[in-house]
Structure 1
């Protein structure tokens, strides 16, 4: 059986029935008219059984059933009918993904455990452009805001993916794929209003300049209360464009856009050089994030090889005290897919990324203006570079067995280190219904600027008696450590896919991951007590200073099971279900670094997380005009000997009721998040959230 050679061009199939939408994401087409004629001649039933395509697993179009890795595709239909207001929330549809709501407009997302606010083991991209923050080593999900109508699908690859994508693709990748502008011609408008002052207004216009060139432009605005329990205001404004040129064997895509978010909060700061009566001053903090980008993608198809060039430039800044600064990123990636023979294809590529950062330096007077939390840089202005080269060989060994071998070499200037990220994967096609696969790979987390070049602090009070009636001000510092080794992950996984025509798909995976050199805080010591410091200096108000240092002494093993089931018993009704069991065992054996982690640090956090995640989404076309969709989510309880980490289970039900009399009419939706749910925390010590309802109307014309 010959390998299917890469076709760069994709055409999105417009929805004509729910069975069709729930079964396909995109249909790949070559530029040959005969294949297009074949597609147009297909019946709805044949179209519905067409195979889902994925581009993120090997940087090319592949049938999902032929990928020897854990892959889940969230279709545009699933996203829209889930009623979500953010990309982050939609990711809870995929197995292995834990989404925690921090506030009404902020989330933390992890994959296969080790959940934390800035999760550094998941590479997040939009059309292959990384939106991972090199400044904070994580993803600011509130800055990722796209028109849902323009998202074609979200591809979630679980497991190590460093061979092609490099650093941070340690536990997986999320690639948000937007539609070709050819598929978004005309006008689209959307307006939504809801509880807690929620307002949303979107507009997009797509146009065709010629038979080969199309483009779209959009603008989107959102406003609402940032928290449930107060009236902190959140505002977000974003906009952008995409242009696509199709010259047959050559395709070019240009995208550009930008965003600005702003939220207002009650705040305070301390001045430890003033009179004691005015140490703490109440104020208002206006937090903003701003960013812009431009990207260029070029595809060239020849008889025996395909060539690609991808480059992008972005700029981002924020004044949030713990992440204050700005960074500029330039990325260039070149690759080729070459067919060596009928059964072997070679992918070769390489690139460079340059990151220029400007961050908050230490002030001249350290204790004159102390926020509740903040961060200072020891190296406030610098340019870091990452160089990489990679190769991957895909071979059809027999009619039923194929193998993928690959590796990437990546060099990081931040800590002058070089990492090798190999993988091997095997796929066995037992028959048209059953496919088995297994793989092993190693991936690296990009060296962290936060941990190696910045000192973080928290301010508060220390209790001197059991009733906490006698207190003193305290500042807790977490100091940088330039000698940290890179975090690495080695993952073994295996899976099975079962397909029964277009009615039932079952995708199951077992995995085991070994994490080394995980970031943690350790070596805590009191530097100052009652204003007297170890270096002989003194501080006012009998202040306490506790210092600790970032360490790489933490390790963790995680293992689990993931399954996703799509069942369409009748053409008007589909059930999308996912279940994940994730268990983590973290360990820290260095006596000087581990005592804190054994009680309250990362080790304890990683060992006390929900083990069971459930998602059940039902999509029902009641009549041609009416839709009723339900989404049940469950996160299991956390039992711990430490009271601070105990957490009850969380179960919610989201409801969406939609009406559209004719395709040319507007669609009106009533959406209720967490139906009937009173105030609760998604995880301990997160902001409270509760039932929230809103109305949304949208119109394509």
Structure 2
């Protein structure tokens, strides 16, 4: 029997097993706590990423998917990208043991660049790289056992979060120190590597605190042609958090340091102007410190101040070394309700010190620079009727390359019934140029050199959305969103008339239209199933004057559709089974076949405070997800065992 047939048979058995177990009484005696949140309670989860203030998920006028701590644990995710696979609207494509291309609503990579239209934050700290507006996912390793929830917003978020929040926002929130008291030890061994982590929490006087440390090692993987990929990865991290309160004031401080060593997945050397240069291991390091103060005002309003310092260094021999320091201060004031108005406003100031050590392969001119981003935003939620609200907001943000950018939004929410809501939105957002767009220069002999473009403009997206969120049945939740994006000034690579160099410009436009939907159904107190589906159609075209024939092929980096099915069953208060099935359509540029992936996790609480789980990924066989044939990673079958011990 073919392996895929075995996998599908296993899936059918796994999905049917809970029903058989229920018939045999295996689910009897299960505690109410194992039901976790009911479908109705899930709709009332408090989210903050849509309006920058707590609101029920059902009331949020945006496409939002919440990944809870239980979701992450049940799926057996071992990294943030693996956890993000749980969000149906995200396309998560693995390129190596540590490299990922992650996007929402398309644009999963543009001309010679990683995905750059998705804003990612960890406890309010932006982790996008000003060098190219993307995310180095290997440098964003967190202890998943400390994550409280991940809010994934599909669509524009520029009004509240600024430039680069074009196609989505990922807001990762960790648990308070009060919620992580005592000790925790985590050990994992698998066919792809090993992990170890610890955490200790306590209370000193009025201050709750925790410290943690973790280390990981990933083995080399295989390429799709059977060779070995130089992508081994080692990393260690230490961190802390402290929380305390005084009357109406709350304070929080957290920080971390890490160091990593990564092999480069490309061939062992590259040739530049006839000279062979060997590729060395990538060396990474970073440190961050974030402080937040929030006060509840007597009149019902609130204000908060957050500041953070961030240091990151990435050594990529023989191409470049970047050392980046960022200082960021944010202020927000939520005014007390005034008639039918609920107003929130704020300001943000961000400054970076960026230094690049240039090489024969690539240079950034100037090599050392400072940049400043400043912004002011306001958003008003107006109650037009008890069941109808209008949200109007705008942000003005200034950057050093294109000056002031205007980011407005208008959102209308209509509560059809207590458990049904419709919403629609019109927004304008941008991706501002980065050093890669404006300052990059690739040395070499004619006929072609590549250099940053003095004519590069901000990439603009005008977005229309309409969505539904509700509970058609008591035990069934459903969310569906249709969207249309109009893009302008997308980046292109233009051959100069002298035919001596290529320069970046902004001579491409296009549209993206699609639908994203997901649902969850509580079949019984012990059994829950969920599903997600996306469909996307992109059309990109060159504007007059462009000769970048490869630009429109960017649309080929995105699948036309994805499908996700998940089943969770708790046999009793000690044993649970999670089964997940993902389908991703083929990519065209470069060509990557479509694939199915079957994952499963069985967890067993063998004693109070001790849980053992067995996790299998890609049980139906290996597949590729991203990259050119012959050098891309073949995502192989993985099996591992994890021990979590609460002390």
Structure 2 length as normaliser, TM-score?
0.89
- Pair 1:491 & 2:507 matched: no
Instruction: Say yes or no: does 1:379 pair with 2:369.
Output: no
Match of 2:494 in 1: 522
Query: In the alignment, which residue of structure 2 is the partner of 1:614?
Result: 563
Cα offset, 1:231, TM superposition: 6.0
Aligned to 1:303: 298
Q: Equivalent residues in 2 for 1:311-330 (5 A)? A: 311-321=307-317, 324-330=321-327
- Which of 335, 340, 343 does residue 338 from structure 1 map onto? 335
The answer for the alignment partner of 2:181 in structure 1 is 185
* Aligned residue number for residue 69 of structure 1: 62
Measure how far apart 1:60 and its partner are: 1.3
Q: Residue 690 and residue 22 in structure 1: after superposition, are their counterparts in 2 closer, same or farther (change >3 A)? A: farther
Give the alignment of 1:129-168 within 5 angstroms. 129-168=125-164
Mapped contact 1:137–1:449 kept (Cα < 8 A) = no
1:673 aligns with 2:622: no
Is 2:387 the counterpart of 1:442? no
Q: Does the residue aligned with 1:132 lie in a helix, a strand or coil?
A: coil
- Give me the whole-angstrom Cα distance separating, in 1, the residues matched to 2:352 and 2:391: 32
Q: Tell me, in whole angstroms, the C-alpha distance in 2 between the residues paired with 1:64 and 1:456.
A: 47
Kindly state the Cα deviation for residue 480 of structure 1 after the two structures are TM-superposed: 0.7
8 Å Cα contact 1:525/1:548 also seen in 2: no
Q: Write out per-residue CA displacement over residues 289-326 of structure 1, whole angstroms, 9 at most, x where no aligned residue.
A: 11110011110001222111011110111012555211
What is the CA distance between 1:500 and its match in structure 2? 5.2
Aligned mate of 1:208, from 198, 203, 224:
203
CA distance 1:85–1:508, shift in 2 (3 Å): same
Once residues 645 and 287 of structure 1 are traced to their aligned partners in structure 2, the CA distance between those partners, rounded to angstroms, is 25
1:123 to 112, 115, 119: 119
Sort the Cα spacing of 1:126 and 1:676 in 2 relative to 1 into closer, same or farther, 3 A. same
Q: SS at the partner of 2:52?
A: coil
Among 209, 218, 223, the residue aligned to 2:212: 218
Alignment partners' CA distance in 2, 1:500 and 1:512: 26
Shift, 1:661, TM fit: 3.0
Partner SS state of residue 233, structure 2: strand
From the superposition, tell whether residues 158 and 230 of structure 1 become closer, same or farther in structure 2 (CA, over 3 Å).
closer
| Alpha-carbon distance in structure 2 between the residues aligned to 1:99 and 1:525 | 39
| Count of matched residue positions in the alignment of Structure 1 and Structure 2 | 603
1: CA distance between counterparts of 2:38 and 2:186? 23
Cα distance in 1 for partners of 2:362, 2:32 equals 53
Shift of 1:680: 3.6
Matched, 1:91 2:59: no
Larger radius of gyration: 1
Q: Distance in 2 between matches of 1:681 and 1:59?
A: 35
What is the distance in 1 between the residues matched to 2:541 and 2:272? 40
1:613, 1:634 within 8 Å by CA — same for their partners in 2? yes
SS of 2:85's equivalent in the other structure is helix
Question: Taking structure 1 as reference, are residues 660 and 483 closer, same or farther at Cα in structure 2, changes over 3 Å only?
Answer: same
Q: Deviations over 1:38-67 (max 9, x none)?
A: xxxxxxxxxx56711101111111111111
Segment drifting more, 379-388 vs 81-90? 81-90
- Structure 1 residue 429: Cα displacement: 0.5
Question: 1:379-413 deviations in whole A, cap 9, x for unaligned?
Answer: 11111001101111111111110111010011112
| 1:565–1:342 Cα change, 3 Å | same
Aligned to 1:267: 268
- Checking the alignment, whether the CA contact within 8 Å between 1:22 and 1:574 is kept in structure 2 is no
- Output the CA distance in 2 between the equivalents of 1:138 and 1:393: 30
CA contact 2:97–2:231 (8 Å) conserved in 1: no
Change (3 A) 1:259 1:499: same
What is the rounded CA distance, in whole Å, between the counterparts of 1:497 and 1:50 in structure 2? 9
Structure 2 unaligned regions, length at least 5: 1-30, 223-227
- Kindly report which structure 2 residues correspond to 1:409-558, keeping only aligned pairs within 5 A, or say none: 409-413=396-400, 415-456=401-442, 477-499=449-471, 503-523=475-495, 547-558=501-512
2:478 and 2:152 mapped to 1: Cα distance? 16
- Displaced runs of 4 or more, over 3 A: 21-24, 269-273, 473-477, 524-527, 644-647, 678-685
Deviation at 1:224, TM superposition (A): 1.6
- Equivalent residue, structure 2, for 1:256: 255
Partner of 2:241: 242
Q: SS where residue 183 of structure 1 aligns?
A: helix
RMSD: 2.3
Distance, in Å, in 1 between the alignment partners of 2:461 and 2:106 is: 13
Structure 1 residues 523 and 104, CA, compared in 2 at 3 Å: closer, same or farther? same
Is the Cα–Cα contact under 8 Å of residues 297 and 309 in structure 1 kept in the other structure? yes
Task: Please give the per-residue CA displacement for 1:321-375, whole angstroms capped at 9, x wherever unaligned.
Answer: 55521111111111100024243111111121001100123x5xx5xxxxxxx42
SS in 2 for 1:430: strand
Name the counterpart of 1:540.
Answer: none
2:93 touches 2:625 (CA, 8 Å); kept in 1? no
Question: Mapping of 1:285-304 within 5 angstroms?
Answer: 285-304=280-299
Q: Structure 1's 570 and 231: CA in aligned 2 closer, same or farther, altered over 3 A?
A: same
Corresponding position: 1:689 with 2:635: yes
Q: Helix, strand or coil for the counterpart of 1:447?
A: coil
Q: 1 CA distance for matches of 2:376 and 2:62?
A: 22
Find out whether 1:352 has 2:339 as its counterpart.
no
For 2:168 and 2:143, how far apart are their aligned partners in 1?
24
Q: 1:456 to 1:627 in 2, by over 3 A?
A: farther
The 3-state SS of whatever aligns with 2:70 is helix
Task: Give the TM-score, by structure 1 length.
Answer: 0.82
Measured in 2, the distance between the counterparts of 1:453 and 1:475 equals 20
Residue 526 of structure 1: how far off its partner (Å): 8.6
Aligned equivalents of 1:645, 1:240: Cα separation in 2: 39
In 1, are the aligned partners of 2:509 and 2:541 still within 8 Å (CA)? yes
Pair 391,230 (structure 1): closer, same or farther in 2 beyond 3 Å:
closer
What secondary structure sits across from 2:335 in the alignment?
Answer: strand
Residue 258 of structure 1: CA displacement? 1.7
| Alpha-carbon distance in structure 1 between the residues aligned to 2:618 and 2:417 | 42
